[in-house]
Structure 1
Amino acid sequence: MAVPWMKRSTNRRRKPAALIFVRALSQSARRGYLEFGALKVPCALGRAGVKALKREGDSATPRGEFKLSYLLYRQGRPRPRSAIRLKPIRRDDGWCDCPGDRNYNRPVSLPYPASAEHLWRRDGLYDVVVVLDYNIVPRVRNRGSAIFMHIARKNFEPTEGCVALRDNDLRRLVSRLPRNSKIAIRL
């Protein structure tokens, strides 16, 4: 007979999440830097800087702490190495950005009757995409959609609200991250 105080705990604790820090150069800054361990790289942010109260279409990067939900990658391009769950992007993949639609801030198949962003892009910005859990559960209409970490344009031009890194930096980052990682976007 086991002694109660000698029982092994059946509650298994998850490892603490790895935390990536994104710091804007200022509240209105369109650029910042991302830090994870010894990795410190420049990043592009939203055209309207970083905001605590994000709205759909305001071009701001949301301030806060968010889980990295999963990683999308374009088939036919180098597949990223990562412990984060991977999903290939198909030609008909989109992301609904219409606040009035029942699939607002969710992946959809194109063509879609409401407004939706194409994930299969010619410019390569979405060859590697980390989906952040911003406004996913609970989903609030008009609070903003499709907040990703993706590949930056040349010269780190501002995004529509995402965090963007050079292709090599993004691939290096995702190869180092454990599955339960989070990103903290701050000023």
Structure 2
Amino acid sequence: MVRTREFDTETAACRAMELFWSRGYEATSVRDLTQHLGIGQGSLYAAFGDKDGLYRAALEHYRATLAATALDSLKNGADARSAIRALLVERIRIAVSDDGRGCLAVNAVCERLPGDTATRRTVRDMQDASQDAIAEVLRVAVERGEITTPHDPATLAAFLVTFLNGLLVSAKITPDARALESLVEVALVALG
């Protein structure tokens, strides 16, 4: 007789995301995960395959929730400059929380690469989605005359995402939102 799963895998991925985010992949053991999730090791393996599988599920949960919410905020901004400022400031706020836990995606790249191609692909997809969303906001802003940058919107979007990645790493070193937010104004100068 096959036993039915007694836990919600999406909730497990969410809770695992929090643990991986606060501790990192290497410092989080399978035992830590099973205790934190309140499940047995066999259940973890049956649902996710192994620790790597659960980590990928946690990254996917991050992408589908927090990263997706950040991109949605771009669409709701009053103007391009305000929308991009709000996106960058919100990402800083999240990164400095919990004593500078940073960004799960950036942490994953810093900790797991170069050998983990699945993590690289997931994070690259997140970065590409961010660049595409920002580039679209910038294209519309140029058409409306909101910004006067001499730079191509795609190149400027790539710059802003690269800048954000640097901010997110810096948040781990110096978890001071005020200091990092002042840098956002410098980056926004590129919008013209």
State the TM-score, normalized to the length of structure 2: 0.25
More helix by share: 2
More strand by share: 1
State the TM-score, normalized to the length of structure 1: 0.25
